Chains A and B, each alone.
Chain A
Amino acid sequence: MARYRIGIDVGGTFTDFVLVDMAETRLEFHKEPSVPDDPSAAVERGMRALAEGFGISLGDVELVVHGTTIGLNAIIQRRGARMALVVSKGNRDVLELARLRLPSSYDFTAPRESPLVPRDRVFEVGARMRSDGSVAEAPDAAELEALAAELRGARVDAVAVMLLNSYRDGSLERTVSDALRAALPEAQVSESSTIWPEVREYERCLVAALNAYIQPLMSGYFRRLEARVEAQGVAAPIYITANNGGTLSVATARERPIETALSGPASGVVASTRVGSVAGRAQLITFDMGGTSTDISICPAGVPEFTASTEVGDFPLMMPVVNVSAIGAGGGSILWVDAQGLLKVGPVSVGADPGPVCYGRGGTVPAITDCYLVLGIIDAARFLDGRMALDVEAARAALGGIADRLGFTGPHRAREVAAAALRVASAKMAAEITKLLAQAGVDPRRYSLLAYGGAGPTHANLLVREAGVRSVLIPTAPGTFCALGAILADVRRDYVRTAQHLIGPATVLDPAANGWPAIEALLGTLEREAAAWVSREGSLVGAHDFVVSFNLRYPSQAYELTVIVPMELRDGLNGGTVARLFHEEHHRRYGFSDPATPVQTTTIRLGVIGKVAPVDLPAAAAGTPEPSGRRGVWHDGRSIPVDVYPRSGVGAGALVRGPAIIEQADTTTFLLPGWQARADRLGTLCLTEDAEDTEDTGATEAPQPAEVDPA
């Protein structure tokens, strides 16, 4: 009987698995060491381990959802396809010039990004559109033949095509790329208007180029993955997690692999909002602290927030992705002392190899993880459930070296350095969170920090004191949280059109100038296209919903705002309503609006969400926490005795008072003195200060601007 779903997230060190038993509302977790050379090998091994460990038949699996960073890694490490780029005449340097900005205004040694396609594999063709959608110049058959011959000579595996103004109409781009497909059947061709038809040639070009760059690699990987999964006796379809927090069929992911490059962090945010909503906390700061970096996302409204201006590697990506910011701080961030004697943490990381000193793999530079260990926050014998013994003495000795350089003396110098390093790390991370909150224009006091990843729960309580955040949520399985997010996601794809029209109520806009009828027609076209696509995404996909959003601006201004149309306003939507939403959003974010002027649309986006029968998160068993031991933890300049609790004992409704350590296989939670942790229905820990109300504080309130001062 088809009753199981498996979520898989491939990381650098481990491949994480979540098994859902739909029949019994049961979740199981598993971590399998990753195989960097062939990630599908770890997938195969992990599935076998699931079958054996939990006694299930893989034939009963109904759905596999897979998250992979292969595309992202290929872009960062420049290991993608040998490719060519075809552009309009006069636009050869679209990638060389990019958007002109260099990484630093101060530092003349900061290099530009290395281009994805070298200049001698960028080819100009006499083909371009005008901005009104008409053809300005079209190539004849001879020119296309000559172009194909040049590409053949360049021996490329992939080609991207981006012609000026083709966001208006992709037919000219398709003419060119169809000719190239016919002439070079072995190369994969991506055209910009098919992947993402939005105005701005550099960014659109990158979407097509990045897609082409990773397509051969990703196609090969998907082929191996399908073969291995099938060989396990799994007949279920495989879905791939996407940058927008949704999933795509393998067939779509193969066509549009760029949509999967940033999916890992997105899945974590999907799981966060789900767990947060059960805990009654909608306004979240997600905090995924791993070895080399930390991913942070601000969710003001209980759902993942999107952005259309993010980066993938060195490059901007204009497609909507879940808005996650990475900061260069993690368990592997190194401690060092500069020439003037100041203690520095990061941004360099020891990486997975050799890792922190305590891993005993030859590392000599102490990292944040060494600090946790020496302070007594993590237990040398129980790290990763005892699968990896840690060397406390080596860590202490390395921290002693830092202490010498700082001039710290006395018997506790290693621990004092460790505590100091955590304060510095917390101050740095709090500074980054403060900036993100300021950008969103929200007040941290209303937010809960949802902590996951290996080090997230360990550092969360230390961090929130610095950041002015008043509560922390820690899910039951923080180490495999992204895999959980994968299995909770619906199928989703976004569509875009660039369309400049004036809209507004009849009171401010002459009916002849009203662009709403054109927009309505466009929306209709997009809905038909999206519905047709989602109907082909597989039999598990049930009903679908549309999400409509607009980029809008006042005609006199250059900057735009995104307005998402609430579900309840979708029926009978009109230009006046959209304009009103814009004025309101403008006022909320910027403190002023001008309802007497019409509003200009720039970009229209339609998201289609194909519903997959939802996974119920299982309730946790009740339980009264009993300490399994007690150890000394260095805190605020002295060693304090701290009770240690197994996480499994902290059942639904249980309360633990700090100071306390809560241990589980994939992480350790540190609860500070004066704080308490209460487990909710799912077993999610909610950490608050003793004086704080543990009830919901922000689930139903609208986000507030940061500016709360009256004057």
Chain B
Amino acid sequence: MKLDPVLVEIFFHKFTAITEEMAITLQRTARTTYVKEAGDFGTSIATPEGRLFAYPTDLGVSGFLDSDVGPALARIEDLEPGDVVITNHPYDSEGLSTHMPDLHLIKPVFVDGRIVAHGWDFIHSSDIGGAVPSSISPRFAELYEEGFQIPPLKLVRAGEMNRDFLTLYRANCRMPEENLGDIEAMLAALRVGERRIRELVALHGVDTFLQAQKDLAEYAAEKALAVQKKIPDGTFEFWDFLDDDFNSDIPVRVRCAMTARDGEVHLDFTGSDPQVEAAYNIPTGGKRHPWLTLKLMHYVFSHDKTVPLNHGMFDHVTVEAPLGTVVNPEPPAAVGVRSATAIRLNEAIVGAMTRAEPELMPAPSGGIMIPSVLVEQDPGGARKVMVLQSLVGGTGARFGADGVDGRDSSLANQRNTPIEKTEEEAEAMITDYALRTDSGGAGRWRGGTGVAFSVRVVQPGSAVLGRGMERFVFCPWGAAGGKPGSKAQVLVNPGTNREVELGKLDIFYPEPGDVVTILTPGGGGYGDPLERSSELVGEDVRFGYVSEESARCDYGVVLVGGTVDAVATEALRARMREVRGPFKEFDFGPEREAWEAVFDDATMSELNALLMQLGTNVRGRRRREIFNRVIPRLSEGAVVPLHERVGDPAPARRRIAEEIARLREDLAPRAAGD
């Protein structure tokens, strides 16, 4: 650090205040609910090179700290004072925008002909055109279905609004006036940012202002490195699965090999599945990227709350994200629901860190976010669309602490919808919104429970919809001897003789009187459940987080009349220790074990390497054919547990070997011809 340590500290507070004042201005003056209520926006200030050197502590979306506005600006040849650049293009911005509803603005701040910083902000706009209202659907395969593409271009040119662009924009989205209101708010926030930057430059001079950016980044890098040094040296591999890619029933694998050396961390995502023909691809430009490094940032911040939020946090992180995979797709692959894949990717990183040192990270959370929606039709036929609830699972347990029940800050950390607000709009009644007993993974520290949410439909012609339906096939795994959390489920009329399991809910048309119940997953458990103190297990039973039966079967704790029978518990635990199998560092549940009995890491890596040699135009179809031939029952869907669909692994292993051999044969002439 070149500046004195007092000035650096003062700049830290002033820089942060600029980003927060921008955030408040944006949110206060924005028009749409996405921005005003859900807080789906971001504000920051970037170095002349394009890296973010300050970030709001608790305003807007927290995850975009590692963004780089440089590539978008590099596409503008004649940047001049008074310009504002706009883009939503996942590929042309090299991953600054990660799906097209996100509109990004960048405003360079010139002082004496020289750029000293950039203001940056983004919003999730309500609609950017495309084939469905709100522009996002998992079924989309190409960017062209996802809406209006805006490569980096000037929204404002030397202080003059680009009216031609606005005309084009208006013609290409469903609610242009509201969105333009949000753009106005973004511009207002950028003006606030620029004014504050100019004040600081006037007070301290350009050189000090630029040096402070560097010093703070260096400071963050030092702090992050100190935390990363807790990771033992070595290479640690882990992978996790999305249930499927919506357009097929084939699980999507994300693989991470983390190499740590004296605090330097390299994340290699080689071996992740090829990009999918659905909207689950994460556009990263193949470089260090917020979606790839988010979990490391959570790790660093959780272990040192004084680290300033700036790009320096990532100075000691490098990544490898091969082109053509789900973590670095080629255009025009669709990207709308990239967040679902990012959750699994985060869990792969958590797993790799846990392999390195189990005490560093919590077990995975429920890992889903379901905006459940109700459509009602009044007798006149008018349709009303209402959000019923934003449903998440519980958080994972970690060394020293149980998970949090029914909440999950690791995703969007949004607020729920009060039952009374829902019922103000809807005729239907919310009959249950409660913690889901026994869903948290058992462990010395228990995973947080999921949630049980039930709605009783009243009107004929109603529909219940859900997005983000994940963890129906694979459970949130348990760590360090802990058990997995329960999977998600959707049931109709549970506990009656008309009970039906729906599997993954897309859209369902219930009859009046039907109760639709959504059960969200619990977080993974941590540590050996037999080591959880029997008093704590007794308390869990008294509070209803755990049933008496689970206390006995999973924890070896015997309760009599609500109190722990110490002698019986001791005996039972001794017996359970004797009969159980070897210690499992991770417990993935029977579904993943069955799947990997066929598709183990070596097989998947081999298969993926071969598939990557096929052109993108035929790769997807071939991949589907292979999986469906190897597992004929795969397409029966999530209602049938995956281990049942896989069946006996031995013949399936033979089939996959044959498929790989055939694929190799098919590719051979091609390789020979090259």
B253 within 8 A of A: no
A-B contact sample (9 more), CB < 8 A, given A90-B431, A201-B420: A102-B409, A102-B413, A103-B409, A111-B404, A201-B418, A203-B418, A339-B226, A434-B17, A559-B36
Bound together, the chains give a CA A131 to CA B423 distance in angstroms of 6
Within 1-39 of B, Cβ neighbours of A (below 8 Å) are at 1, 5-6, 8-10, 12-14, 16-17, 20-21, 24-25, 28-31, 33, 36-37
Residues in A with CB closer than 8 Å to B542 are 120
Interface pair A105/B409, CB less than 8 Å apart: yes
Q: Which of A260-268, A422-430, A574-582, A641-649 interfaces with chain B?
A: A422-430
A106 within 8 A of B: yes
A338 within 8 A of B: yes
Residues in B with CB closer than 8 Å to A340 are 1, 219, 222-223
Residues in A with CB closer than 8 Å to B398 are 108
B345 within 8 A of A: no
Residues in A with CB closer than 8 Å to B545 are 119
Interface pair B423/A90, CB less than 8 Å apart: no
Within 395-410 of B, Cβ neighbours of A (below 8 Å) are at 395, 398, 401, 404-410
Interface pair B415/A107, CB less than 8 Å apart: no
> What are 8 A-B interface contacts by the 8 Å CB criterion?
A100-B416, A108-B361, A111-B404, A199-B424, A201-B419, A344-B9, A438-B20, A590-B31
B414 within 8 A of A: yes
- Shortest CB distance B374–A (Å): 14
Residues in A with CB closer than 8 Å to B223 are 339-340
Q: Which of A23-31, A180-188, A703-711 interfaces with chain B?
A: A703-711
Interface pair B297/A106, CB less than 8 Å apart: yes
Residues in B with CB closer than 8 Å to A104 are 58, 409
Knowing A108-B409, A201-B418, the reply to whether A136 touches B429 (Cβ < 8 A) is yes
Residues in A with CB closer than 8 Å to B416 are 97, 99-100
Bound together, the chains give a CA A100 to CA B419 distance in angstroms of 13
Interface pair B424/A424, CB less than 8 Å apart: no
Interface pair A438/B9, CB less than 8 Å apart: no
Residue of B390, B413, B418 touching A199 (CB-CB under 8 A): B418
Closest to A407 in B: B5
Q: Which of B5, B24, B192, B298 has the most CB of A within 10 A?
A: B5
Interface pair B415/A99, CB less than 8 Å apart: yes
Knowing A559-B33, A707-B188, A711-B159, the reply to whether A97 touches B392 (Cβ < 8 A) is no
Give the secondary structure class of A's interface.
loop
Interface size class of B (residues with CB under 8 A): 35 or more
A91 within 8 A of B: yes
A515 within 8 A of B: no
Interface pair B302/A438, CB less than 8 Å apart: no
Interface pair A97/B451, CB less than 8 Å apart: yes
User: How many A residues face the partner with a CB closer than 8 A?
Assistant: 70
Interface pair B17/A120, CB less than 8 Å apart: no
B110 within 8 A of A: no
Bound together, the chains give a CA A118 to CA B539 distance in angstroms of 11
Interface pair A92/B31, CB less than 8 Å apart: no
Interface pair B5/A164, CB less than 8 Å apart: no
Closest to B539 in A: A120
- Shortest CB distance A488–B (Å): 32
Interface pair A435/B13, CB less than 8 Å apart: no
Residues in B with CB closer than 8 Å to A430 are 17
Interface pair B31/A558, CB less than 8 Å apart: no
Residues in B with CB closer than 8 Å to A301 are none
Give the 4 A-B CB pairs with smallest separation, nearest first.
Answer: A431-B17, A102-B409, A105-B62, A420-B6
Residues in A with CB closer than 8 Å to B361 are 108
Residues in B with CB closer than 8 Å to A200 are 418, 420-421
Residues in B with CB closer than 8 Å to A338 are 306
Closest to A594 in B: B177
Residue of B28, B188, B405, B429 touching A96 (CB-CB under 8 A): B405
B651 within 8 A of A: no
Residue of B297, B415, B420, B430 touching A100 (CB-CB under 8 A): B415
Knowing A199-B421, A344-B9, A559-B33, the reply to whether A101 touches B409 (Cβ < 8 A) is yes
Residues in B with CB closer than 8 Å to A591 are 29, 184, 188
Bound together, the chains give a CA A100 to CA B414 distance in angstroms of 7
Bound together, the chains give a CA A638 to CA B10 distance in angstroms of 21
Knowing A100-B416, A424-B9, the reply to whether A435 touches B410 (Cβ < 8 A) is no
Q: Mark B606-634, 1 if CB is under 8 A from A, else 0.
A: 00000000000000000000000000000
- Shortest CB distance B271–A (Å): 27
Interface pair B14/A427, CB less than 8 Å apart: yes
Residue of B1, B13, B159, B404 touching A112 (CB-CB under 8 A): B404
Bound together, the chains give a CA A136 to CA B362 distance in angstroms of 43
A629 within 8 A of B: no
Residues in A with CB closer than 8 Å to B432 are 90
Closest to B25 in A: A438
Knowing A131-B424, A201-B418, A707-B25, the reply to whether A343 touches B406 (Cβ < 8 A) is no
Q: Mark A518-562, 1 if CB is under 8 A from B, else 0.
A: 000000000000000000000000000000000000000111000
Closest to A416 in B: B6
Residues in A with CB closer than 8 Å to B8 are 342
